[in-house]
A and B are shown apart, each in its own frame.
Chain A
């Protein structure tokens, strides 16, 4: 038999002025289960809490109702008071008679009092069905997995590792560095990207707490926050990294030439290669798709020239398993392919290039030694047209969002062009110039003045060839006229798009992604680095387009989250989670669909007395469950219960007034 104690608070005058508190106390005393009821000026004060503690002991109370302010305000305070009296803190219910009664019915004391009574009755009825709950503690494996070795992944890995937490950094390509390693200079300061990135790359390689696994992919993730098991497929590199010194003899002698991804295909690399000279690890890998030895069994030159004998053509893919506690996903972005812009002649005219191709050309270590050239004839261009928002902000072409970085990098490109080709002239077709960021607007303004670039506001409608020039026709919205610009080279500021593999990765990790393929954060404002799945965090462009400073901040935020998660040996969790009654569960698995966190799996259990008959039922991982109750309402056979908000509790509330 439940023994409920009710404590009604005056909240100074906040409640007492508009609700007849003694009358409320008298009313609740009429309820059968209420064995003690009293009032006090400030229940949340020390003496108030003391009254609760004393009454629990004196009247052997089994649950407590405090009628006071919103539970969002003082629920924790009163729970602690219960704990102090040796009572389970979850036997508390709060009747919100301040925000829900006294403050909103100030003109009608009688009605406010009536409502306060009903709210108390409801809280008492609910508390009768309250059960003892215990905080869930989940053990934690203190090791983090970082997926992606671009600047986001590098920063996150370094920050976590600096806190002496082991990190596994998985990179798909042979070297870390990512897109940033392809950049020449960075806006708005025009730092050399390589100069600021490579030291960090070297740090990663030499950090005692970082295990770098390049040329590999995550293929499976099991478990839940603090207790994940990851399987990583390490692709065969055909080079023994342990013995290889990175001398370069092999790739110098390799006869097979392949388009060089690092330089956007502008020049060639070999079939055995390191992506770029500063690569980390600076060991070559064999491109199995092009190596004639692997394809046809003929050649073997690299093995002959390698005096360490590091080449091993029989090497197989390898599966590496690691136990980890948290994941940082930093898979970056892809450049959007502008082929759909047929009106620009993309694909037909050689002298239309993308911004990243331009970036590679003007890069000091690029294929053209830092001088932009026309792909058609190798001449240095004089008139260069930059077209912004190619793909971005264009619903017709499929990308509705702003790619955020194009305004800035195009500005940077006009500067770089001006530096490299002094007598050149740049034209920029733009929709808006979005330069929100520290020093960004100043950078744009200064560039416009310094380079004398012509900015034309409007979309380009057509590009056609006239002799060896390209004619760019577009509208200048500011004068309301169609303009045509004669260009030697056209540079398209193509959109940032989500990595093509993101949906696969998201499914593999059990997290969600948006319609563009960007991975979804748990809350757009308040939980921007967490995903809906506990223990998986997002850094960089994999979540949405962003520039380097933002990416680095988010990566560091991820690191802070991971360190916070690993602060104790176990994680404490609210016990308001769902659980399954196996006997009632019919195994329809509809709840699996409704759970946004993937907290529900299935298991085969024997039901009933001594039964050996196995039945498939749902199983809730309380480490992952966030307690939304979606599964509870979905479950037709009421096999699922959400602690703290059980059917009994809610129906008790409904029928109590």
Chain B
């Protein structure tokens, strides 16, 4: 694979971002109330592509919106007229700046479920038309544990374009996929000069080692996977979920959670059907029409969450449904960490 790499400096990077914004619809982290969320931007000054990982929402809503219109309907005595919704604003050619590695990774995980028995064409279109531009992570946040999971953070092919801060003050803009390559060809103009060599300076190695060394959380996910799959009935789930307040926010900020609910909203004769996020931690999530609820208590819902992330999804798709981004722990009002939960449960389960 021929890989395009350009080298530039800080000012050049800004110009590159501007060129991206000029060439297609661009989303980037925008600060609102001290938290960064990905929004449509037209100018570099509006956004911060290097937003701190702990304060940035995931990019999931750009592919799986928090509420998506499924259909519109007009119900009159002449019949019910169901129509597709307006054009999907997320399916246009677009680029996303400032994507974190874990977020990009989450798309690869989600691809599995969206391309499974039912192909979600909306999701597909959004994926295809999106160029993901990311800056290389150089330091782990308190709750990060992506390196403990089975993918190569360094060579993530979910990123179309990777921006690397060289130790020499130089900034490398690297295409990682053919999509990224052709995109760079379109966009990068005079501000950057192409380099033919792969950037492989020992500096980068050192940088990566420093990055990998900055992780507070480390685990052997294979061991966790194996232990968890055997201890469905451990009472430890009750202990670890003890101070959970069932607020559901973990699922809403999680880059890989993909449960949803359907709701209709109608005014006069016309209505819209929405598909909106839901959470398995919600007590009513599994309530059935007849009144039966297989997960009426909190620990069972927590067990489902942990098992789905580290066992069930793995069994079906060969991947963990967790990318180690730590967003849930940061958002959690009582700082419950999925990392601690799975480790604690698997450790306790084995002792018994």
Contact = CB atoms under 8 A, between A and B. Distances in A.
A608 B284 CA distance: 13
B292 interface: yes
Which secondary structure dominates where chain B touches chain A? loop
Interface string A13-41: 00000000000000001111010000000
B30 to A, nearest CB: 33
Contacts of B1: none
Contact of B266 (A29, A121, A655, A657): A655
B205 interface: no
A123 to B, nearest CB: 14
A657 B77 contact: no
Nearest to A32: B75
A608 B76 CA distance: 39
B287 to A, nearest CB: 10
A609 interface: yes
Interface string A123-166: 00000000000000000000000000000000000000000000
Smallest CB-CB A-B distances: 6 pairs: A32-B75, A655-B267, A30-B76, A32-B76, A32-B77, A609-B291
Contacts, number: 23
Nearest to B296: A608
A609 B288 CA distance: 12
B289 interface: no
Contacts of B78: 30
Interface of B: 75-78, 80, 266-269, 291-292
B268 A29 contact: no
Q: Please classify how large the interface on chain A is, using the bins under 10, 10 to 19, 20 to 34, 35 or more.
A: 10 to 19
B268 A34 contact: no
Contacts of A121: 268
B267 A31 contact: no
A656 B76 CA distance: 12
Contacts of B77: 29-32, 34
Contacts of B266: 655
Contacts of A32: 75-77, 80, 269
A121 B76 CA distance: 12
A657 to B, nearest CB: 6
A523 B6 CA distance: 87
Contacts of B267: 655
B291 A656 contact: no
8 contacts: A29-B77, A30-B77, A30-B269, A32-B75, A32-B76, A32-B269, A121-B268, A655-B267
B90 to A, nearest CB: 28
Given A31-B76, A32-B75, A121-B268, 10 more contacts: A29-B77, A30-B76, A30-B269, A32-B77, A32-B80, A608-B291, A609-B291, A609-B292, A655-B267, A655-B268
A608 B291 CA distance: 8
A657 B76 CA distance: 13
A556 B247 CA distance: 63
A46 to B, nearest CB: 29
Contacts of A30: 76-78, 269
A235 to B, nearest CB: 55
B73 to A, nearest CB: 10
A30 B269 CA distance: 10
A656 B267 CA distance: 6
B74 to A, nearest CB: 9
Interface string A617-657: 00000000000000000000000000000000000000111
B75 A656 contact: no
Contacts of A29: 77
Nearest to A28: B77
A32 B291 CA distance: 31
Nearest to A583: B291
Nearest to A118: B268
Most chain B C-beta atoms within 10 Å of own C-beta, residue among A29, A32, A34 = A32
A30 B77 CA distance: 5
Contacts of A657: 268
B271 to A, nearest CB: 10
Nearest to B75: A32
Nearest to B292: A609
B292 A656 contact: no
A34 B75 CA distance: 11
B251 to A, nearest CB: 23
Nearest to A655: B267
Contacts of B80: 32
Most chain A C-beta atoms within 10 Å of own C-beta, residue among B75, B76, B77, B80 = B77
Most chain A C-beta atoms within 10 Å of own C-beta, residue among B75, B76, B80 = B76
Contacts of B76: 30-32
B81 to A, nearest CB: 11
B267 to A, nearest CB: 5
A31 B292 contact: no
A388 to B, nearest CB: 67
B82 to A, nearest CB: 13
Contacts of A34: 77
A579 B77 CA distance: 34
A31 B77 CA distance: 5
Nearest to B79: A32
A121 to B, nearest CB: 8
Interface string A73-109: 0000000000000000000000000000000000000
Contacts of B268: 121, 655-657
Nearest to B267: A655
B172 to A, nearest CB: 56
A32 B77 CA distance: 4
Contacts of A655: 266-268
B14 to A, nearest CB: 49
Interface in A599-621: 608-609
A64 to B, nearest CB: 17
A657 B75 CA distance: 14
A655 B76 CA distance: 15
Nearest to B271: A655
B249 to A, nearest CB: 22
A31 B292 CA distance: 37
A314 to B, nearest CB: 61
